[in-house]
Amino acid sequence: MTITDFLKDLVDFSERELEDILSHFQKEIVSKGQPLVEQGQVCRKLYYVEKGIGRNYYLNSDGKEITQLFFGEGRFMTSLESFFEESPSLYNVEMLEDAEIHSISKNELELLFDRYHKMEKLGRLLSTEMLTKVVHKLNAIQFQTAKERYEYMLTEYPDIIYRVPLGMIASYLGMSQETLSRIRKKKIRD
């Protein structure tokens, strides 16, 4: 879904408003694996994913990559606390496929928030949507078995699960790659 359609769907901006808002976004073509944010830097931009899948991840104390969130098409992506609080990012952000994204800086976004009440509303809606998603994941992680977590992933993100490497999904679900491999195998047999 294009960013234009996405914005129109959520809030009924006028043509002029929409045009102004869109003019503050920049289209970027990024290739697979290209880092958008690196751990330790402040993440200055919010991205809309038009094509591709992104993720943010960090390196744990053993140097292993832990995926925190995936961002599919039609989602806004950023290093959340870093962007909002202008603090050093705990995560790296990258695209997992060659991708088309639209970026906006925090300053310009704030400007739009101030200029348009409707834009502020959009920000609130996206934020609460994200919040409910994260709460849902937290739920899945907190008290479910590895198998149940995999099933959660299957229903919640069927589009993502077959497009990204197993190891990333495993770390996203809080289990080892080996465990996920075994679970998936058993699933197919049943």
Partner DNA sequence: ATCGTTTTTTGATATAGGTCAAAAGAATCT
Partner DNA sequence: AGATTCTTTTGACCTATATCAAAAAACGAT
**Does residue 155 interact with a second copy by CB under 8 A?**
no
30 vs 171, beta carbon nearer a second copy? 171
Give the orientation angle of helix 146-156 with respect to helix 177-189, to 10 degrees. 70
Closest CA to 162 of 64, 24, 53: 53
Q: How many residues does the chain have?
A: 190
* Residue 123 contacts which entry, DNA, a second copy, none (Cβ below 5-8 A, type-dependent): a second copy
- Are the C-beta atoms of 141 and 156 separated by less than 8 Å? no
Q: Where are the beta strands (DSSP E) in the chain?
A: 26-30, 35-37, 45-51, 54-59, 65-71, 76-77, 92-95, 99-105
**Does residue 31 interact with a second copy by CB under 8 A?**
no
Query: What's 43's DSSP letter?
Result: P
* Residue 154 contacts which entry, DNA, a second copy, none (Cβ below 5-8 A, type-dependent): none
29 vs 135, beta carbon nearer a second copy? 135
Among 41, 146, 156, 161, binds DNA (CB under 7 A): 146
Among 136, 165, 186, 187, binds a second copy (CB under 8 A): 136
Binding span for a second copy by CB under 8 A among 3-11, 38-46, 76-84, 97-105 = 76-84
**Does residue 179 interact with DNA by CB under 7 A?**
yes
* Residue 127 contacts which entry, a second copy, DNA, none (Cβ below 5-8 A, type-dependent): a second copy
61 vs 132, beta carbon nearer DNA? 61
DSSP 1-35: --HHHHHHHHS---HHHHHHHHHT-EEEEE-TT-E
